[in-house]
Amino acid sequence: LKDVISLKFKTMQSDGILLHREGQNGDHITMELTKGKLSLLINLGDTKTHPSNAQINITLGSLLDDQHWHSVLIEHFNNQVNFTVDKHTHHFHAKGEFSYLDLDYELSFGGIPVPGKSGTLSQRNFNGCFENIYYNGVNIIDLARKHKSQIYTVGNMSFSCLEPQVVPVTFLSSSSFLALPGTSGQDEVFVSFQFRTWNKEGLLLSSKLHQSSGGFVLYLSDGRVKINLHKT
């Protein structure tokens, strides 16, 4: 028997469970976002049947939390697993214990019905949009929309994909920047923002404080965010 699961997703969250499939004896496959990368975790859960508690973790992609659509395909045939993310495929031929992988019990998207028992990395439900979820040719979203008995939904869910109100800005050269006039008499600064870059070095934010005659600099150094406080 061959199982084929395909879907598309987009999100701004870097962590979350996209798919979880489980067997009667605790064997499971979990697909989850971890720090913007997509991991496929294959686990033999019954320690009595499989004393080694064998586990495989395959990771593909990066920066998948960019609010763009990404496609995923999982093909499982006996002990052969093909894992594809945005046309990049990892072929895996499981040997030994993995040929007994039992996954006939339950399949869920966006979370795990009973969190904590799967040994996943994030334990967070998916927050974002799915489309074109197919399991062996069956349209799962269509079943959910028609309230078919084969599927049930949990939590807040809508059959639409709302775009977040985000206004990005791109600095096209090393001399580009935004400047905001300070408020006279205030010596506190509250700033929040998200950024994405391929550069390992660069100035992110700087400010001079009014009363303390100093300031701070927030910057990237060797791919890490650092802050430098100084007085003048």
Residues 129 and 197 in one domain: no
Residue percentage of the chain with pLDDT more than 90: 31
More confident residue, 38 or 180: 38
Instruction: Return the pLDDT at 132.
Output: 95
Is residue 228 in some structural domain? yes
Q: Is the pLDDT of residue 103 over 50?
A: yes
Is residue 152 in some structural domain? no
More confident residue, 197 or 48: 197
Amino acid present at 99: S
Is residue 29 in some structural domain? yes
Is residue 154 in some structural domain? no
Q: Evaluate whether 28 touches 21 at the Cβ level (below 8 Å).
A: yes
Is residue 230 in some structural domain? yes
Q: d(Cα 230, Cα 210) in Å, to the nearest integer? A: 13
Residues 15 and 91 in one domain: yes
Q: Evaluate whether 90 touches 126 at the Cβ level (below 8 Å).
A: no
Q: d(Cα 32, Cα 153) in Å, to the nearest integer? A: 19
Instruction: Return the pLDDT at 199.
Output: 87
Q: Is the pLDDT of residue 99 over 60?
A: no
Residues 127 and 171 in one domain: no
Is residue 153 in some structural domain? no
Residue percentage of the chain with pLDDT more than 70: 77
Is residue 69 in some structural domain? yes
pLDDT band at 114 (very low <50, low <70, confident <90, very high): low
Residues 138 and 178 in one domain: no
Domain that holds residue 112: 2-145
Q: d(Cα 56, Cα 35) in Å, to the nearest integer? A: 18
Residues 133 and 204 in one domain: no
Residues 23 and 123 in one domain: yes
Other residues' Cβ atoms within 10 Å of the Cβ of residue 150: 8
Residues 124 and 185 in one domain: no
Q: What is the pTM of this model?
A: 0.66
Q: Evaluate whether 101 touches 78 at the Cβ level (below 8 Å).
A: no
**Mean pLDDT, range 17-24, rounded to an integer:** 82
As for how many domains the chain has, the answer is 2
Query: What's the mean pLDDT when you consider all of the chain?
Result: 80
Residues 87 and 180 in one domain: no
pLDDT band at 183 (very low <50, low <70, confident <90, very high): low
Phi, psi of 199 (to 5 degrees): -80, 145
Instruction: Return the pLDDT at 47.
Output: 46
Is residue 150 in some structural domain? no
Half-sphere exposure at residue 201, Cβ-oriented, CA atoms within 13 angstroms: 1
Residues 6 and 66 in one domain: yes
CATH number of the domain at 80, please.
Answer: 2.60.120.200
Instruction: Return the pLDDT at 173.
Output: 85
For residue 183, what are its two tokens? 């408020």
Cβ contacts of residue 165 below 8 Å, gap of 6+? none
Q: Is the pLDDT of residue 166 over 60?
A: yes
Q: Evaluate whether 210 touches 185 at the Cβ level (below 8 Å).
A: yes
Instruction: Return the pLDDT at 128.
Output: 92
Residues 104 and 172 in one domain: no
Q: Evaluate whether 230 touches 217 at the Cβ level (below 8 Å).
A: yes
Handedness of CA 8, 11, 14, 17 (dihedral sign): negative
Residues 129 and 195 in one domain: no
